[in-house]
Structure 1
Amino acid sequence: MNTLKSIFIFVIVASGIYLGYKGLKSAIASDSTQKEIGQTYAVIVGVSDYQYLTSRPSVVLPSDPNSYDLEYCDDDANLFYDFLRSPQGGSVPPENIAKLLDKQATKANIIAQMRSLFSKSTPNDRVIFYFTGHGTYQVLCPHDMDSDASSLLEYNAIAGTFRECRAKDRFFIADACNTGSMKVHSDTQGTPANTSPTDKNIVAFMASKANQSSRENQQIGHGYFTYYLDKGARGEADSDKNGVVTIKELYGFVRANVMNITGAKVTPKMEKDYQTPVIFGKFSDSLPFSYSVATQ
């Protein structure tokens, strides 16, 4: 009887030690993530309503997906804003975020806001440029785009704002068609100046490959990419349950879900007929993006 009692006491004590250790580990991980992230400065752009485009027909889809307004990009931008303001996103203060929707999202205003906010960053901080709207080969489409190529938001303009800031971590996230083509420009132009793989992280997280569209869905009221980006960043991508969502975990989660929901496993199916998120840059797989408050 004494032996059974001793075993029972041992199990209770061991369980308490294990649970305490697990809680402490998660708390340390979360605290470490907060310290590593530092301050966050973000420019969030969502363009559904374009100055020179009209509403998309409800029945017949155009051959060129960039010929009409979009439906949910403003909702996507608001979703990403709410994530950054949440505990999982770091409770970023509103004064550290510029949210530009529709008419506010002109090319000039986007660049001006990036330069203004990102210039406040220190070497311990991170900056995020998030864009959702139309995109085409190696460029993004601001609200005031027209037939002149100079009206488009090209890679060099975006890279230039990153080049000017001092932030340790720099994220370029785009939910738009053909955004994987940015990698071609990145490979030929190189990474921004002042950047070395030892002390800087450059992450480009794109919604689709160079030959693919980035899709919206009426039922969820968002683009697929942003919808799963939000879910993953809020904790669903935390595969090892340590309280930290790394960029590798987030990419794996978003890629798998977006490919699945757009029919990548359906055969026969051409690659251009589904959607594959891509990621590139210079960064560690363990780079934290967010953390799960549920495990603190």
Structure 2
Amino acid sequence: MRMKRILFSLICICLFSLQSLAQNIYLVSVGIADYPGTENDLTLPAKDAETIQWIYQKNQKAETILLTDAQATRSNVLSSMTRIFNKASAKDIIVLFFSGHGYKGGFVGYDAMITYQDIKKTMAKSAAKNKMIFADACFSGKMREPRRNSSNISPSSLKVMLFLSSRENEVSIESPSMKNGFFTTCLQRGLRGGADANRDRIITAKELFEFVSQGVKKLSRDKQHPVMWGKFSDSMPVMIW
């Protein structure tokens, strides 16, 4: 009987711990396949954004906004981020997903460039400590010289984690036989639980990087290498499922 009480107490402690970690998640998911004109069009970004939104909507504590193609103007993206991210408390998670064209200073919106500085300023207004950007965009690594995260960073100093689909001299590969780009394919698999290496139902930044990086390198035959940089802890939660 005593052993049963001990086991019951341990289960309750575990459930309480998971519940206390169950942050609200706020996502703005952006995908632009159909740019003005035809010469800059892509195939899969709108589907990428829809897939990532679908993944997060499975989490009952997630609130999402989806912007695709002509909806994804610079002003729409930034105003959507402000509107939804400002709902977050310090313990919550805010996420920007972008799939489309990238350039050295940020992303190419439907009508104008969306600079990293624009994004950073908008995210800085949110009280959330866990802030992240996922980008499936060619040459996205040019946004900054990649630097892996450090487990020695204190939680109080956390800023923004960027997880970018390719190095600065690489393209982000699409395949007609796949529903999503290589990076988004591996990202959604990881967020659905594939990256949860220790099966504790909490996917950390380190777990996600290792899972997605290995998957993309395998799919691309070592032609595409995701990069992650920013000031954050290896144990930063990116998804609780």
Q: Which residue of 1 aligns with 2:23?
A: 38
Whichever residue aligns with residue 252 of structure 1, its letter is E
1:200 deviates by 3.0
Q: State whether structure 2 residue 96 is matched by structure 1 residue 129.
A: yes
1:250 deviates by 0.8
Structure 1, unaligned runs of 5 or more: 1-15, 55-66, 145-150, 187-195, 265-273
Q: Which residue of 2 aligns with 1:260?
A: 218
Larger Rg: 1
What is the SS of the residue equivalent to 1:217?
coil
Task: Give deviations 1:186-239, integer Å, cap 9, x for gaps.
Answer: 9xxxxxxxxx85253421111011111111122121111011101011111122
When normalised by structure 1's length, the TM-score is: 0.71
Structure 2, unaligned runs of 5 or more: 148-153
Q: Which residue of 1 aligns with 2:156?
A: 198
Q: Which residue of 2 aligns with 1:84?
A: 56
Q: Which residue of 1 aligns with 2:207?
A: 249
Structure number with higher strand proportion: 2
* CA–CA separation in structure 2 for the residues paired with 1:197 and 1:212: 32
Alignment of 1:130-145 (within 5 A): 130-144=97-111
- The answer as to whether partners of 1:119 and 1:164 remain within 8 angstroms in 2 is yes
Q: State whether structure 2 residue 226 is matched by structure 1 residue 277.
A: yes
Q: Which residue of 1 aligns with 2:150?
A: none
1:109 deviates by 0.8
What is the SS of the residue equivalent to 1:77?
helix
Whichever residue aligns with residue 176 of structure 1, its letter is A
Q: Percent identity?
A: 31
* CA–CA separation in structure 1 for the residues paired with 2:86 and 2:240: 26
Change (3 A) 1:199 1:103: same
Alignment partner for residue 178 of structure 1, among 139, 147, 150? 139
When normalised by structure 2's length, the TM-score is: 0.87
- The answer as to whether partners of 2:78 and 2:119 remain within 8 angstroms in 1 is yes
1:117 deviates by 1.3
Q: Number of residue pairs matched?
A: 231
Q: Which residue of 2 aligns with 1:68?
A: 40
Q: Which moved more, 1:177-186 or 1:204-213?
A: 177-186
Change (3 A) 1:236 1:31: farther
Q: Which residue of 2 aligns with 1:106?
A: 73
Structure number with higher helix proportion: 1
Q: Which residue of 1 aligns with 2:236?
A: 287
What is the SS of the residue equivalent to 2:193?
helix
Task: Give deviations 1:118-151, integer Å, cap 9, x for gaps.
Answer: 112211211111100111222211112xxxxxx2
* CA–CA separation in structure 2 for the residues paired with 1:33 and 1:171: 21
Q: State whether structure 2 residue 196 is matched by structure 1 residue 238.
A: yes
